[in-house]
Amino acid sequence: MDEDDTELVQLKKEHLRLQETYAGLEKRLRDCEDSVRSKTRFLEDLSLELRTPINGVLGMLQLARTTPSPEERQEYLEMAQVSAATLQSLVNDLLEFSALDSGRLPLVEKLFDLRAEFAPLLRNFKSQSQWKSLEFSYQIDDALPLRLIGDAARIKQILVNLLNNAFAYTKKGFISATVGPWRGQTSGRDAPATTPRQDRCLLHVTVKDSGIGIAPKRQADLFEPFAIGAHPLEKQYTGGAGLGLAVCKRLVRMMHGDIWLESREGHGSTFHFTVECGLADQSVATDAPKTTAAPDVQPRNLKILLAEDEPVNRIFTVRVLQKCGFTVLTAVDGKEALQLLGREPVDIVLMDIQMPRLNGLDATRAIRAGQVPGLNPAIPIVALTAFAMESDKIRGIEAGMDEYLTKPFEAPMLMEAIQRVMS
């Protein structure tokens, strides 16, 4: 082979390499363009879903301000509260979806009583069905162990999401829920072939309804963000922003399970999910520990320090506490809170976390370390914060907070938290 032939072979190899590089770059460009389009669509959908409840809140408040009728004003305020609750649910889903995508949402596995966790939740949905043209039934399989090890709160979160969707998309007929062991048999085309790891079991939960059903073309991306089973311009039923199922999918995957559905348009849907749980020692007594009734919190002579930098939140919390008969002192940051605690005797501290000069976590650590002269380091401290992730709560508890209440909260929730720490 002469020099020209050798050079030609090298050129051909280089040409092939360049072709492969070009094809790879083309694919990466297409992927980037698809990602940009997906993000644009995501933001467009998010804007729609946020603006709808915001418009409900602002619109109802405008009507409430201009009506002279107390009864009509109350009706508008109640409708504004419904829209605000929808907005809160969407924000919660967004936060959890973001935390799951970035791996910042840890599971908290612990021993739990299966029936004690699930039965009250399911009874609550049965009570809701009595106000609708629906029959709701549920069953917890006796074949399941009484006690398991897992993140009961996250499992319930998935179940609540599926039940809420069923109630939203089923106007009449029935809804049923079953909790049982995975037996490896289902009529679903996409049923997983899952085998639990050693010393663990697979929990199988189903939610079945006689609602509107889901068309086959919508089912493929139903567990993707904002896939709500219908085009936004064609939506006939309101049932959430469409992030809930995406969150559910990520949660079940974290718990080594799967989620899928069986549905026919116009003939209802059945959603299934499995999660892996640890097996507890069933030989240990399973009776729930006896509890004594907590004494009522007495407002008289109870002084509370509220550390909150945001004016509207501060006014709201102060008014709630004063209406309940408490004496309230306020601080606009952690540094002022410590100064007040060094001068004024108080019974409990309500502490925001994100504050200027000194944040709530550092202020709590200073209190627990005995750095405030004359103050009992064990004084009850309740977090009132917008940091709503489980990891945030863990940081708050590690800093020394006794209770962790996330914003937005309602007055009864605050009273219950005060009740617990004062008992």
Please report the pLDDT score of residue 226 as a whole number: 56
Prediction pTM value? 0.57
90, 53 in Cβ contact below 8 A?
yes
Angstrom distance (rounded) from CA 122 to CA 159: 9
Cα gap 107→155, rounded to integer Å: 10
d(CA 76, CA 69): 11
* Tens-place pLDDT, residues 361-370: 999 999 999 9
User: Kind and range of the H or E element at 149?
Assistant: strand 147-150
Phi and psi torsions of 145, nearest 5°: -60, 150
> Is residue 363 within 8 Å of 351, Cβ to Cβ?
yes
User: Strand (E) positions, 322-407?
Assistant: 327-331, 348-351, 381-385, 403-406
Segments in 130-257 forming alpha helices (H): 152-169, 216-219, 244-254
Q: Parallel, antiparallel, or unpaired for β 258-263 and 381-385? A: unpaired
> Which residues of the chain, if any, have pLDDT below 50?
187-189, 228-241, 283-297, 299
The per-residue pLDDT for range 288-332, each reduced to its tens digit, is 334 334 444 454 568 999 999 988 889 989 999 998 889 999 999
What pLDDT shows up at residue 230? 43
Q: CB-based contacts of 171: which residues, under 8 Å, 6+ apart?
A: 132, 133, 211
Beta bridge partners of 272: 206, 260
CA gap 332, 319 in Å, rounded: 16
Contacts of 249 (CB under 8 A, 6+ apart): 223, 259
Beta carbons of 97 and 246 less than 8 angstroms apart: yes
What pLDDT was estimated at residue 84? 84
- What is the rounded end-to-end Cα distance, in angstroms, of the chain? 94
Strand segments (E) across 8-124: 110-113
CA distance 190 to 193: 9
pLDDT tens by residue, 399-421:
999 999 988 888 888 999 998 89
Q: Output the pLDDT for position 343.
A: 92
Residue 269: its pLDDT value, please?
93
Closest Cα to residue 413, out of 324, 345, 329, 280?
A: 324
Encoded amino acid at 375, one letter: L
Tokens of 103: 């791996």
pLDDT computed for residue 102 by the predictor: 63
CA distances from 63 to 67, 186, 402 (A): 6, 52, 41
The per-residue pLDDT for 298 is: 53
Task: For 86-106, write each residue's pLDDT tens digit.
Answer: 787 777 777 777 766 666 667
Domains and CATH numbers, the chain: 3-101 (1.10.287.130), 110-279 (3.30.565.10), 303-422 (3.40.50.2300)
Between CA 219 and CA 221 the distance in angstroms is 6
| pLDDT of the residue at 289 | 39
Cis amide bond preceding 356, omega within 30: no
Peptide bond into 408 cis (omega under 30): yes
How far is residue 22's CA from residue 264's CA, in Å, rounded to a whole number?
44
Strand partners, 347: none
Cα separation, 223 vs 242, in Å, equals 8
Question: Which structure tokens are listed for 274?
Answer: 């499995």
C-beta contacts of 313-319 below 8 A and 24+ residues apart = 313/352, 313/384, 313/407, 317/350, 317/384, 317/414
Q: How many CB atoms lie within 10 A of CB 336?
A: 19
